[in-house]
A and B are shown apart, each in its own frame.
Chain A
Amino acid sequence: MAAVFNLNHHASYAHWHFISLSVPNLIVIVLALIVFVLAILVPFPKHGPGSQT
């Protein structure tokens, strides 16, 4: 089953001084930070998605 996007090629890397991060990893890390911030800032429904009211 072929994937929609073929990732079987060398990754690109982001360099900063001695730090070298693969772009896929950088995306995951940045995404985690964004998700954390959004989880705190995005308003929560008054009675919660699991509530019955």
Chain B
Amino acid sequence: MSVTQPPSPSRSWTLRVRERAVEALPPEKLLADEQPTYVASWIYVFGVLSLSALGVIILSGCILALKGPGWWHFTGIGHFFNSIHLWSVELFFFFMVVHLWGKYWMAAWRGGRRQVWITGAVTFLVAIPCALTGYVSQQNFDSQWISAQAKDAMNAAGIGAFFNLLNFGQMYSYHILLLPLAVVALVVVHVLLVRKHGVVPPFALSDKLAVETPASPDGGAARPDGGEAGAEGGAAEPDAGVARAGGEASGPAEPS
């Protein structure tokens, strides 16, 4: 292969995108094989459980889409997959709500993680019309009633002018394509933000804060943050890693 000069980074979109992506999420952060020692509670599994439920929803939804919207009314196997789809939706909201409660009581938006909270909250809110369009796509009595009722709320807010719950074709399109895409896109951003910022550290137990000091280079075990070690402000302490009481600059690690 001939050796040619690569285009200078400022002109190559590809290089710029790649460098920004790798800087934000180096592979060892994206697929970390370590986690902070404070991640030690069952409440932490509800994020991945919510993700898994979404996966089951999508898989079962794909099977239902393969055979078309009427299939499940006429065959046992179709009804089976419809049931999996319905129960995985119930599980999705169940796990998501427990995950949300946990994240609220952890104040998980701390330390520059507001976007993680925001994307999570928006995901929950977008999942609701995604479920609604599913309920009105069932093509049974439930769909008839839900669409006939909910249309009044949509119409009152002007939304009914372009979002007609009584139009099965439109609702089915929203349900199997547009809204799942939106949910998945939001979840992907949410998860990547978690990988980027890490899981929120615990609250410092002391009420007082140390003045920010340059971090010492020694921060404990290897961590997947690709070079940020020691670069942030705050005392570097192997135990808690958060600014502590003291009021003075620097100092050795103190038990909380």
Contacts and interface: CB of A to CB of B under 8 A. Distances in A.
A and B touch in the complex (CB under 8 A): yes
B82 to A, nearest CB: 11
Contact of B39 (A1, A46, A48): A48
B40 A36 contact: no
B94 A28 contact: yes
A48 B35 CA distance: 10
Interface string A15-53: 000000000000010011001101110101010100000
Interface in B93-125: 94, 97-98, 101-102
Contact of A1 (B35, B46, B79): B79
Contacts of B94: 28, 31-32, 35
Contacts of A31: 94
B43 A40 contact: yes
A26 B121 CA distance: 24
Contacts of B43: 36, 39-40
A49 to B, nearest CB: 8
Interface residues on B, range: 10 to 19
- Please classify the interface of chain A as helix (H, G, I), strand (E, B), loop, or mixed, using the class held by over half of its residues: helix
B76 interface: yes
- Please classify the interface of chain B as helix (H, G, I), strand (E, B), loop, or mixed, using the class held by over half of its residues: helix
A36 B39 contact: no
Interface residues of A, number: 13
B42 interface: yes
B145 interface: no
Given A1-B79, A39-B46, A48 B101 contact: no
B28 to A, nearest CB: 16
B41 interface: yes
- For B40, B42, B101, the residue with the greatest tally of chain A CB atoms inside 10 Å of its CB is B42
B98 A44 contact: no
B98 A1 contact: no
A1 B41 contact: no
Contact of A28 (B46, B76, B90): B90
Contacts of B98: 32, 35-36, 39
B97 A44 contact: no
Contact of A36 (B77, B80, B90, B101): B101
Interface string B54-79: 00000000000000000000001101
Given A28-B94, A48-B39, A36 B102 contact: yes
B97 A32 contact: yes
Given A39-B102, A44-B42, A48-B35, 7 more contacts: A32-B94, A32-B97, A32-B98, A36-B98, A39-B98, A40-B41, A48-B39
- Across the A-B interface, give the 4 residue pairs with the lowest CB-CB distance, nearest first: A39-B42, A1-B76, A39-B43, A44-B40
